[in-house]
Amino acid sequence: MTIKAANIHFNEQGTPYADDFADLYFSDAQGLAETHHVFLRHNALPQRWTDWPQQTFVIGETGFGTGLNFLATLAEFALFCEKQNNNELNLHFISTEKFPLKKADLQSALAHFPQLSSYSDALILQYPMAIAGCHRLNFLRGRVILDLWLGDVHHILPQLACPPEGQIDAWYLDGFAPSKNPEMWSEALFAQMARLAKVNCTFATFTAAGKVKRGLHSAGFTVQKHKGHGRKRDMLAGHLDEKTTTPAPVSRLAKPYFFRSSAVASTKAQTVAIIGAGLAGANCAYALAKRGYKVRLYCKEDALAQGASGNPQGGFYPQLNAQANGMSQIQAQSFTYAAKLYQQLLADNFEFSHQWCGVFQVAFNDKVQQRQQKLVDNQLWPEELIHWLSAASAEQQTQVPMPYPGLFIPQGGWINPPQLIKALCNGAADISDCQIQTGRELKQLARVEDVWHLGWQDGSSSVADIVVFATGSESVDMPYLSDLPFRLVRGQVEAVPSQGPLSALATVLCHKGYLCPEFEGHHGLGSTYVKNQRSTQYRQNEQGANLLMNQNALAHCDWAQQIEGVNKGRAAIRCSSPDHLPLVGAVPNTNLQKQQYWDLYKALPNNHYPVPEDIPQLFMLCGLGSRGLTTAPLLAEVLASQIAAQSLPLEEGLLNALSPNRFLIRDLIRRV
């Protein structure tokens, strides 16, 4: 879905006005007071945060607009935590927006509220590109999460994965007035609000329209009329007494066999053992530490990042297609999330070598140029994410002779993965109890009396409440993962000395391979793809293959033909899946699921099938292939959210595409 920016202008008072809906975003000079009166007061906030029994309070909102409701709530939450000396409660704010404001318009709108400037500055800094789907933003060092979903609320809400008991504690029913935007204020919306709400969930809305009152009541909410703010006579507020036995329809993609089980709740801080200390493991450690888990990160080698995450330079960019298919959506959302996370690590003084120099995807032949041009013509992706460069512009950008046009990703670049992994581990240790143990090769794993027992190569043992496999190419050897269809591919990357015109290269070049700007006197150049081999010995013939690939792709660049290698580089084994998507979630109990879903091929109704049998407290993030720099941060966030039973930052269809049991399910559906 292509996201269109809001069409607005500012009136004489400087208040934003939506031209397409003929309505103001907030009352002139009264917007903040109205937010406090309608949404905070009538959802009984912050009073309800005192003695709140859960770790997280969840607010859902229809219509993000300028973000004023969120910012007012964020400020109130920060004040509450300071006054109450509360370091335990977290806030999760889930909002939707079909027509997001442009960043410049957002800045102008929020300039009305200087008292919120410290929070609005943080929002503007993280404000996402116009890409459909969920954009997860973090505030107050991760204690406040904003999930900003861009798209039509009627598409988004049914796609939100939700347990039967619900997940929303308070609804902000906002948006342009029902008379201005009748499509939003529908029976379907109210039914989804009830589906996602917990028992005793409250709601508040500025309107008192009869259509809204009747719709909320029909969906199961108790509805009361209250005095409105300012010149508005009335408003509505209420709560949900009980969950209806006829829940609202969910997306057709919400299949019971893809239900994502969470970890068993506990009153104590649970210990998570993460097996593997590459990009997947380090990102899992960071994401779980933010949620207060005790993290034990185990590395087989004597140092971190010795596998596929150990190259000194890795290109950081999304792989996008001309169609918004699942893989492209995952790549785009992962890239924007990862970029924010990496920038936050740097802002927090966790250092790693990098260069946000952009990535130029070379249109090195007619076929590639046609494919790239189609991507541009379809206008699926915002120009700030990816745009076309002529050959002349490409030469100016790359700083080397470049007779090819192509696509440019300005926010991309290269990163040193081993240093990034160290920064993530240090970041995890800074916010929670996170310990790293090297030289720990897992030999045994058994679950005894609801606790995992881990046996190591030296005869020692450990225990953990939860285990996460982030094992890269070692996944094929792991207990409980033997039924999953991993594919191993050897890749060799060269470290070629900086030489001649190559030394001036200013961006990452991508063609059939890639070439990085200089780092410590060398340029990363790669990579080979050799299937079904596990040797990591450096091979001179693969150096020749890498140099030839670069020469052929840049056939009209004399400087590329002159590059010489010095038999320096490294090889590692990547782990991927048959459909090239990672596996993220609970480890399936394959034998039991075969019994549960043996008759899937009959295409019986969803209610015929139970939720899947997974191995308790055992999870995985594996199969990242060569895209770990881009995908690992968001997918680790997905996994940590699943473990903690929190809202997930991807829509149902994308979660299904990442489910570890998807290959088993496909085989059972096709069984005849």
| Cα 43 from chain centroid (whole Å) | 29
Q: Which residues contact 214 (CB under 8 A, 6 or more apart)?
A: none
pLDDT at 672: 59
Say what percent of the chain tops pLDDT 70: 98
CB 519 within 8 A of CB 414: yes
- List the beta bridge partners of residue 148: 95, 135
Q: Which of 279-288, 324-333, 419-428 has the lowest mean pLDDT?
A: 324-333
Sorting pLDDT into bands at 50, 70 and 90, what band is 266?
Answer: confident
Sorting pLDDT into bands at 50, 70 and 90, what band is 162?
Answer: confident
Half-sphere exposure of 535 (CA within 13 A, CB side): 5
pLDDT at 232: 82
Given a cut of 70, is residue 249 above it in pLDDT?
no
CB 471 within 8 A of CB 622: yes
- What CA–CA distance (Å, rounded) separates 156 from 147? 12
Question: Could you say which DSSP state residue 301 is in?
Answer: S
- What CA–CA distance (Å, rounded) separates 502 from 516? 10
Average pLDDT, stretch 480-500? 95
Higher pLDDT, 311 or 25: 311
pLDDT at 436: 96
Q: Report the phi/psi class of residue 476: left, alpha or beta, with left for phi > 0 and alpha for psi in -120 to 50.
A: alpha
Q: Which of 28-32, 158-162, 392-396, 614-618 has the lowest mean pLDDT?
A: 28-32
What token pair was written down for 47? 């009073």
- At 606, the amino acid letter reads N
Q: What is the mean pLDDT of the chain?
A: 93
Sheet holding 23-24, edge to edge: 8-10, 16-18, 23-24
Question: Could you say which DSSP state residue 346 is in?
Answer: H
User: What's the alpha-carbon Rg for the chain, to the nearest Å?
Assistant: 26
Q: Residue 211: count other Cβ atoms within 10 Å of its Cβ.
A: 15
CB 256 within 8 A of CB 459: no
pLDDT at 419: 97
What token pair was written down for 309? 């995450």
| CB environment 623-653: b (16+ within 10 A), e (fewer) | bbbbbbbbbbbbbbbbbbbbbbbbbbbbbbe
- What CA–CA distance (Å, rounded) separates 280 from 640? 12
pTM: 0.95
- List the beta bridge partners of residue 461: 455
Average pLDDT, stretch 395-413? 97
- What CA–CA distance (Å, rounded) separates 419 from 519? 13
- What CA–CA distance (Å, rounded) separates 560 from 162? 53
Q: SS3 of 468, please?
A: strand
| Cα 647 from chain centroid (whole Å) | 12
What token pair was written down for 373? 């041009």
CB 403 within 8 A of CB 508: no
Q: Residue 246: count other Cβ atoms within 10 Å of its Cβ.
A: 7
Q: Which residues contact 477 (CB under 8 A, 6 or more apart)?
A: none
Sheet holding 168-173, edge to edge: 133-139, 144-150, 90-97, 56-62, 168-173, 197-205, 234-240, 221-227
- What CA–CA distance (Å, rounded) separates 353 from 342? 11
Given a cut of 90, is residue 557 above it in pLDDT?
yes
CATH number of 269-307+421-483+581-670: 3.50.50.60, 3.40.50.720, 3.90.550.10, 3.20.20.70? 3.50.50.60
Say what percent of the chain tops pLDDT 90: 84
pLDDT at 267: 65
Q: Report the phi/psi class of residue 424: left, alpha or beta, with left for phi > 0 and alpha for psi in -120 to 50.
A: alpha
CB 471 within 8 A of CB 275: yes
Q: Which part of the chain is CATH 3.50.50.60?
A: 269-307+421-483+581-670
Listing DSSP states for 30-65 in one string gives THHHHHIIIIIGGGTTTGGGTT-SSSEEEEEEE--T
Question: Could you say which DSSP state residue 2 is in?
Answer: B
How much helix, strand and coil, in percent to the nearest 5, is found in the chain? 35, 25, 40
CATH number of 359-410+487-576: 3.30.930.10, 3.40.50.880, 1.10.1500.10, 3.30.9.10? 3.30.9.10
Q: What angle do CA 420, 497, 626 make, to 5 degrees?
A: 40
Torsion of CA 477, 481, 484, 489, to 10 degrees: -30
Question: Could you say which DSSP state residue 263 is in?
Answer: P
- What CA–CA distance (Å, rounded) separates 115 from 244? 42
- List the beta bridge partners of residue 145: 92, 138
Q: Residue 187: count other Cβ atoms within 10 Å of its Cβ.
A: 14
φ, ψ for residue 666 (rounded to 5)?
Answer: -60, -40
Reply yes or no on domain 31-244 having CATH 3.40.50.150: yes
pLDDT at 575: 96
Sorting pLDDT into bands at 50, 70 and 90, what band is 12?
Answer: confident
Q: Which residues contact 304 (CB under 8 A, 6 or more apart)?
A: 277, 278, 282, 418, 421, 422, 425, 436, 438
Hunting for tokens 């442009």 — which residue is that? 102
pLDDT at 9: 86
Given a cut of 90, is residue 101 above it in pLDDT?
yes
Sorting pLDDT into bands at 50, 70 and 90, what band is 600?
Answer: very high
Give per-residue pLDDT as tens, 18-44.
888 877 777 755 789 999 999 999 999
pLDDT at 247: 63
Closest residue by Cα to residue 660 from 573, 577, 575, 574 = 577
Q: Which part of the chain is CATH 3.40.50.150?
A: 31-244
Q: Which of 174-188, 286-300, 452-466 has the lowest mean pLDDT?
A: 174-188
pLDDT at 394: 98
- What CA–CA distance (Å, rounded) separates 564 from 553? 16
Helix (H) / strand (E) element for 205: namely strand 197-205
Closest residue by Cα to residue 461 from 479, 441, 480 = 441
